[in-house]
Amino acid sequence: MAVETRGLVKAFGPVPAVCEVDLAVDRGELLAVLGPSGCGKTTLLRLIAGFERPGRGEVLVGDRLVAGDGVFVAPEQRRIGMVFQDYALFPHLTVERNVAFGLPRRERGRGRARGAARAQTALELVGLQHKAERLPHELSGGERQRAALARALAPGPELVLLDEPFSSLDASLRADLRREVELILRDAEATAVLVTHDQEEALSLGDRLAVMREGRIVQLGPPEEVYARPADRWTAGFLGEVNLIAGMCRRGGAVETWLGVFDSPGAAAGRVDLAVRPEQLDLRLDRAVNAEVVEREFRGHDVLYRLRHEVGGSLLVQLPSLELYEVGAQVHVRPAAAAVASVVD
């Protein structure tokens, strides 16, 4: 296990920030921690890094207790690399010297040649070896973030922590850098914990996804599982647009609703509420009209429609932008082929 927390608790005065968090991250895994502002995700990262002391509970890094039970290991002794939102590069040092600054002190003094070699290796890993002598202000935002990642990786850490690393970048650069950082971490066989409030970022990067709310992890699992089978209404809505539809579950997981029949494997018989994603619905120009398009949001690769349904009221439907329906169009809405919806509390 690369990192583990057991019953981790942290409060600032009367305000609880992290509440009884149990978490284990395997070696080589990339865990994404997702949640709204103030949910405790950055505090959790700081507790793992050693920038905060837990009020209660334990933190283990590489099977070594680093916090708890009277033990507190300083951040620089935890073998953890940290990538900050604002890069935290020294403006007066070259890129190479910034990267070397993350190495042990002995490799920045007498062993400077060895330190320079390790810094160069880290820069090659992130594709910045040709800019080793530049100053941070001479780099683009994406290059500065890659330099910060190189500094975190240079010492060969047990764990890399990334705190909202892409939030200061524009949308197109953010998407490109996301892919680059994932490849770099995979090539380095690094274990990483990424904190973000961006759903797309968390879903696309994490091997597993931990959703936090009010200091607690409310759901943990593979991103596709968390998205498709959210634990509750709040998680369903936080991860993207959703329709909540009442229905009656029969034996075998078939749920009958006013919109049609959905499969919901494992659902108990009786009245249920389904979380139906907009992409799980389909539109047709059909004689059996049951809805009207009242809003249309064109998003390039897809279109989000808001409908007024004759029975269910407001409804969201997401379709590819190959065929457009105008506002005011009379349409028939139904479950998409093989749509599987999740029961939520």
pLDDT tens-digit readout, 52-61: 999 999 999 9
Report the distance separating Cα 91 and Cα 234, nearest Å: 42
Q: How confident is the model at residue 315 (pLDDT cuts 50, 70, 90)?
A: very high
Structure-block tokens of residue 260: 């049609």
pLDDT confidence of residue 267: 82
Report the distance separating Cα 18 and Cα 54, nearest Å: 9
The answer to whether 83 touches 162, Cβ cutoff 8 Å, is: yes
Q: What DSSP designation does 228 have?
A: H
Provide the whole-model pTM.
0.90
CATH number of 241-343: 2.40.50.140
Q: Domain map of the chain by residue range?
A: 3-233, 241-343
Residue 110 has pLDDT above 50, yes or no: no
The answer to whether 331 touches 283, Cβ cutoff 8 Å, is: yes
Count of positions (residues) in the chain: 345
Report the distance separating Cα 3 and Cα 23, nearest Å: 8
The answer to whether 197 touches 37, Cβ cutoff 8 Å, is: yes
Report the distance separating Cα 204 and Cα 184, nearest Å: 15
CATH fourth-level superfamily of 3-233: P-loop containing nucleotide triphosphate hydrolases (3.40.50.300)
